[in-house]
Amino acid sequence: MRRSVPLLNLSPRDQLRAGKLPRRVVQLLIGLILYGVSMAMMLRATLGLNPWDVFHAGVTGRVPVTFGQVTIIVGALVLLLWIPLRQWPGLGTIANVVVIGLAVDAALAVMAAPSGLLAQVALLLAGLVLNGLAGGLYIGSQLGPGPRDGLMTGLALRTGLSIRLVRTGLELTVLGAGWLLGGPVGLGTVLYAMTIGPLVQFFLPRVTVSLEAPPERHPLSRVAPAVGSTR
C-alpha cells in the first residue's frame, strides 16, 4: 500500500521555496487543464453538472459571455472574498482562476455532443473520473488552494464551523442560485456529489508531491479529504 503523503499548510512564499518547483508547476498546469477538459465533458453529456458549474451555466445563459469566461469572472470575484477572511492566494490559486476557464472553452470548441443516452452516460462517467484525477494532480502540487476551496476553508476558520458544514452550505447556495438561473441539474449533479470526494481521496495520495515541512508548519492531512473539490 502506498504511504500517504501529507498536504502541508504552506504560506505563498513557502509554496515557492519548498522544492521540486518545476515538477510541481507542470503538475499544477496539467491538473488544471484536465480539470477544464473534464468540465467540458460533463457539459457535453447534458446530464447535470456539479453545483458550482450549475451556477456558471445558469449565468452563461443570461449574459453574452462563454462558459469559460464566466468561470474566470466568478473565480476572480470569489478571490476578492478572501480579503476580509485574510486568506493569501498562491500561484496555484491565481492559475486556477485563469487556466481552467481557458481550458474548458478550448475543449468545448472541439468536443462534439454525444448521440444517445449510453454515450451521454459514458461521457459523464469519464468526465467524473478525469475530474477526480485532475483535482488530485492540482491539489497534490501543493501550490495553493483554488478560490472556492480557499473561501470554504477561510469561512470555516473564521466562523468555527466544520469544513463539511461550510462546504455543504456554500454548494447548496450556488446550486440553488444556478438552478433558479436555469443551470442544468440532473444525474450528473447527484453522481458528482456522491463520487468526487472518494475519487479525489483515491488519486490524491498517488500524485501528491512529497515536500519537507518548515518547522513552524503542520500537515493538513486531516483537512484534505474533506476538501473534495479543487476550485
Burial of residue 22 (number of CB atoms within 10 Å: 0-12, 13-18, 19+):
exposed
3-state secondary structure of 219: strand
- pLDDT at site 149: 83
Residue 90 to residues 143, 146, 168, 183, 204: CA-CA distances in angstroms?
A: 6, 9, 24, 30, 19
Is residue 175 a contact partner of residue 48, using CB atoms and an 8 Å limit? Answer: no
* The amino acid at 49: L
- pLDDT at site 10: 77
- pLDDT at site 130: 97
User: What is the pLDDT of the chain when averaged over all its residues?
Assistant: 86
pLDDT along the chain (231 residues), means of 10: 65 84 95 96 95 94 94 93 85 92 96 93 96 92 87 83 81 92 93 88 88 59 46 72
Residue 219, beta-bridge partner list:
8
- pLDDT at site 214: 64
Per-residue pLDDT reduced to its tens digit, 36-46: 999 999 999 99
- pLDDT at site 218: 47
CA distance 196 to 230: 10
Question: Which residues are CB-contacts of 222 (< 8 A; sequence separation ≥ 6)?
Answer: none
Per-residue pLDDT reduced to its tens digit, 92-134: 999 999 999 999 999 999 999 999 999 999 999 999 999 999 9
Residue 182: DSSP 8-state: T
Dihedral sign (CA 209, 6, 151, 51): positive
CA distance 27 to 209: 9
